Structure 1
Amino acid sequence: MRARALIDRLFRGSPDGVIPVARRRVATAAGAVLLGLVALLFARLGDHLQSLHGAIVHRWPYLPLVLTPLIFAGTAWITMRFFSAARGSGIPQVIAAAHNPEASSRGPLISLKTATAKFWLTLAMLFAGGSVGREGPTVQISAAIMIAVHRLLRVPVTAGVYIAGGAAGVSAAFNTPLAGVAFAIEELAAAYEQRVAVLVMAAVMIAGFVSLGIAGDYVYFGAMRQTLALGPALIVIPVIGICGGLAGGLFSRSVLAFGRSQHPALAALRARPVRLALGCGVIVAVIGIATGISWGTGYGTTRHLVEGDGAPPWFGPAKLGATLATTLSGTPGGIFAPSLSVGAGIGNLLSPLFTAPSAVVVVLGMAAYFVGVVRAPLTAVIIITETTASRGLVIPLFATALIADTAGALVCRERLYHGLSRPFLQRRRVPPDPDASEREEPMDRGHRRRPGDDVERQAHLHEV
């Protein structure tokens, strides 16, 4: 209370009650610095725990048959029992919360309690060898930090605050500032207003400086400087785009169908989440022991492929199976990095069919599969360009992404993150405001007009 009183004295509003711009800017800057530091700590701990898991597997090759399922089951039990809003990727929670920003800022979806649970439970999954990424959880954690700082400084919480926090989280997780901005435009917000653009750019810039100052400048998956001539491109791009897009769309459709199907067998599995997680853990352990390269994010193998060092042809299918099993388990963890690894594996599997350099096909495969899964072609192209330094492939990447987006839509019309956000929206059951303006989307019924909306309008989220 004393801290808030001091803040109120430092940032006195004008007589009409309008929050000063300075307070809003301080909240954005402070939130971006904090989330940048947390994202770096998250990455360091995640890498350390994956290395520890690798050492355990090296010394006791069959121990994961027991260890991995037990951690899966324990994580699922803790999540369902105490932190249900921490399950899965975290991006659907941000999408759902931003439909009603002020009310959600006081709820469990984007709270510091949920973010703390997400942090440690995702690390537990990485230690278990689960095929999870930390990028989705970083988005939810970053949004929670940004919301908490805004509430501490008594700054109105709008959808733009969620968008800025999530975008800065993507930027800090991959060291990809442009991808953070693209992700905010394409995945979190449809009506991307100038006010929100400035907020997002400021948060991404500050979080990027924090990452740059501590971790230094680095290329996440290693540098790939090769290019693709026009002749081979006319053959490689359509094949990779279609195959990767279809595979990604099939993954998304499987995940959404599993959560909605009324088939008695699937309903029985969903009714016993701990047993489901235990079984998924067994599948992940068996695939990991059989192949030796499907554990964790897949970062190491993907980096080898991008740099042209090669990998076994079964890496892609094995990683796809492990990622699907981990995702269906309902435990915390993202799919960004695993999806890029699966795409690299698909490119590696198909590369013998072409005369183009294998590393080029791998990078195009990453874009195609990732777009098929998340249906965000602009984000895919920018994030892969920044994480592989493949600027000479920008045009082929755009072409591949557009083809993959079409192919993925043929298999799964609904975008994955928006489909996964529906249960969180339905659980809130926020009644529509009878005085609110006309809504174009039924999912926007949780939005209410507030007096501060005239000062800082909300950016309505994209809904398919």
Structure 2
Amino acid sequence: MDHHRTTRRVRAIVRRHGPTAQTWRRRVAFLGGAIVIGLVAFAFAEAADWAARRFTTLERTWWWLPLLLTPAGFAFFAWATRRFAPDATGSGIPQVMAATRDPDDAMTSLTSAKTVVLKLILTIGAVLVGASTGREGPTVQVAASIMGYAHRLARVPIRASVFIAGGAAGVAAAFNTPLAGVAFAIEELAAAYEQRMAVLVMAAVLIAGMTSLGIAGDYVYFGAMRSTLPLTQAVLAAPVAGVVGGLAGGLFSRLMLAAGGSDWRPLVAVRRHKLIFAAACGLVVAILGVTAGLTWGTGYDAARSAITNGAIPWWYAPAKFATTLATAIAGIPGGIFAPSLSVGAGVGDLVRPMFPTAPGGTIVLLGMVAYFTGVVRAPLTAVIIIAETTASRGLMLPLLAAALIADFTAQIVSKERLYHGLSLRFGRMPEPTQVQHESDDRGNGSVPRA
């Protein structure tokens, strides 16, 4: 009897903790998904960079071509998005936030294979026609989908933490910034964060970042910026940059939210003609691009030039602000991460003359972190992204001060966080009773399903 009882106990332990147990399958899904995310993020980056170079070649050969190509491209991609993948519109981060509310339903809509494949194709297409957009937000949505399918393949229940891990791994792989991925998971998606999954989430982020790093090599996204800012200058520059960047970023956020949710009659009438509206947005981007010459794509070159003390025109920040807003509200896929950093560089360049004795690049970085924080309202993520993409760890305290001030200032202009507001337009909202039950579960130490 004792022998049979011992055998049953051993079998039970093996089923619960052995290689076939759900815990092990979940670990394999997290780690395997992270590797695939790193590979896909790298391939996506290469394709987007190719599209940007191709557009630059066309624009330099025939300066007038964008006046036709960009509006037509915007209209076509808006139609294709509405027709084939309505959940692929915009950045992708709001979709991931919405997916955490109902993970099972999200796998058939917000993060389905059809949605994310078309997201990849249409985002590359948007870059190819000169849209002021980035790949980082779409990478987050694609990464969340990959992580979801990895769990399906491993026959593991899909929780909110699956999409958190995937999205955070996408940030890490897109920017080559693992720490920013961890900060993003905690700060942007904290409402659905599951404490017991923290180690697996961080492991997925690090593995995705290391996979991308192993292929692309060790590089600093905007180039290394070794200058520091003396305390006497930092105590003045950080608040000024924080206020200016926070107000500008908050304005962008408010305009984006208003463009999709305002009841103002003229705006409602315009939104009814979605393809004409998309073409009009494309025409705005084309006119500013042709006249200004610097506002196409992510704005990476202009931002890098500003950081390295290269001169950029005073009008760059408002022009890039306008083209990024026009692209973001046009109803086509594409992110705002990289363009927002570029606008922030322009804001910092506008502030720079107020501090003539300070290293110019340091003021630009303060503007970048302040504006980016004003837009996304995630100061910790903003600081880590700027610090890691410029190797400017000596500026951590001034950057953090500017980000916190910008976060507070942006609330004056736009009380609602951008990604949270946009996420409410996707998926199903949880019932009030469900929210209460989940709150009670957290209070009792248990983990909700979604």
Report the TM-score range of the alignment, normalised by the length of the smaller protein: over 0.9
CA distance in 1, matches of 2:33, 2:184: 19
Amino acid at match of 1:201: M
**Paired residues for 1:143-292 under 5 Å:** 143-190=144-191, 192-292=193-293
Check whether the contact 1:158–1:457 (CA below 8 A) recurs between aligned residues: no
Give the number of equivalent residue pairs. 433
Separation in 2, partners of 1:192, 1:140: 17
Q: Deviations over 1:276-313 (max 9, x none)?
A: 11000000000000110000000111112112222222
Match of 1:446 in 2: none
Taking the aligned partners of 1:414 and 1:439, their CA distance within structure 2 comes to: 23
Please report how far the alpha carbon of residue 155 of structure 1 lies from its aligned counterpart in structure 2 after TM superposition. Answer: 0.7
Distance in 1, matches of 2:375 and 2:197, equals 26
1:386 to 385, 388, 394: 388
Deviations 1:342-386 (A, max 9, x none): 000011122112121211111000000000000000000001000
Find the counterpart in structure 2 of residue 78 from structure 1: 80
Q: CA deviation at 1:25?
A: 1.1
> Which amino acid is the alignment partner of residue 393 of structure 1?
L
For structure 2, the 5+ residue unaligned runs are 1-13
Give the Å deviation of 1:196: 2.3
Which segment is superposed worse, 342-351 or 300-309? 300-309
Query: 1:457 aligned to 2:447?
Result: yes
Within 5 Å, which residues of 2 pair with 1:276-315? Answer: 276-315=277-316
Q: 1:430 deviation in Å?
A: 6.1
Indicate the SS of the match to 1:423. Answer: coil
Q: Secondary structure at the match of 2:228?
A: coil
Q: Does 1:438 align with 2:434?
A: no
User: Residue deviations 1:27-62, cap 9 Å, x none?
Assistant: 111111111111000000111110111111110001
SS of residue in 2 equivalent to 1:438: helix
Please tell me whether the aligned partners of residues 101 and 430 of structure 2 are also in contact (alpha carbons under 8 angstroms): no
Q: CA RMSD in A?
A: 2.1
Instruction: Identify the match of residue 52 of structure 1 among 49, 54, 57.
Output: 54
The answer to whether the 8 A contact 2:324-2:336 is kept is yes
Compute the displacement of 1:230 (Å): 1.3
The question of whether the paired residues in 1 share the 8 Å contact of 2:100 and 2:192 is answered with no
What is the match of residue 336 of structure 1? 337
Q: Secondary structure at the match of 2:426?
A: helix
Distance 1:13 1:300, change over 3 A: farther
Runs of 4+ in structure 1 off by over 6 angstroms are: none
> Is the 1:24–1:150 Cα contact (8 Å) retained in structure 2?
yes
Q: CA deviation at 1:270?
A: 1.3
Superposed CA deviations along residues 316-342 of structure 1, whole A, max 9, x for unmatched, are 111101001101101100100000000
TM-score by length of 2: 0.92
- Verify: 1:43 aligned to 2:19, yes or no: no
Any stretches of 5+ residues in structure 1 without a counterpart? Answer: 1-11, 442-448
Give the CA deviation at 1:22: 1.5
Decide whether the 8 Å contact of 1:276 with 1:329 is kept in 2. Answer: yes
Give the letter for the 2:302 counterpart. Answer: T
Q: Distance in 1 between matches of 2:426 and 2:22?
A: 33
- Please tell me the residue identity of whatever aligns with 1:179: A
What is the distance in 2 between the residues matched to 1:429 and 1:191? Answer: 13
Q: Which residue of 1 aligns with 2:117?
A: 116
How far is the alpha carbon of 1:14 from its aligned partner? 4.5
Cα distance between partner residues in 2 of 1:408 and 1:199: 33
| Distance in structure 1 (CA, Å) of the matches to 2:299 and 2:84 | 29
Q: CA 1:373/1:81 → structure 2, altered by over 3 Å: closer, same or farther?
A: same
Specify whether residues 352 and 76 from structure 1 end up closer, same or farther in structure 2 by C-alpha distance, changes over 3 A only.
same
For 1:345-364, list aligned pairs within 5 A.
Answer: 345-355=346-356, 356-364=358-366
CA distance in 1, matches of 2:279, 2:32: 40
Paired with 1:169 and 1:136, the residues of 2 have a C-alpha distance of: 8
CA distance in 1, matches of 2:323, 2:401: 29
Partner in structure 2 of residue 126 of structure 1: 127
Identity %: 56
Displacement, 1:437?
5.5
Shift of 1:432: 6.6
1:456: Cα distance to partner?
Answer: 8.3
Q: Does 1:409 align with 2:411?
A: yes
Q: Which residue type is aligned with residue 395 of structure 1? A: L
Q: Secondary structure at the match of 1:126?
A: helix
In structure 2, the residue matched to 1:316 is 317
Cα displacement (A) at 1:260:
1.4
1:365 corresponds to: 367
Distance in 1 separating the partners of 2:333 and 2:291: 24
Superposition deviation, residue 153 in structure 1: 1.2
Once the two structures are superposed, what CA deviation does each residue of 1:98-120 show, in whole Å capped at 9, x if it has no partner?
Answer: 01223323x21011110001001
Moved more, 324-333 or 279-288: 324-333
Cα pair distance change 1:213/1:245, threshold 3 Å: same
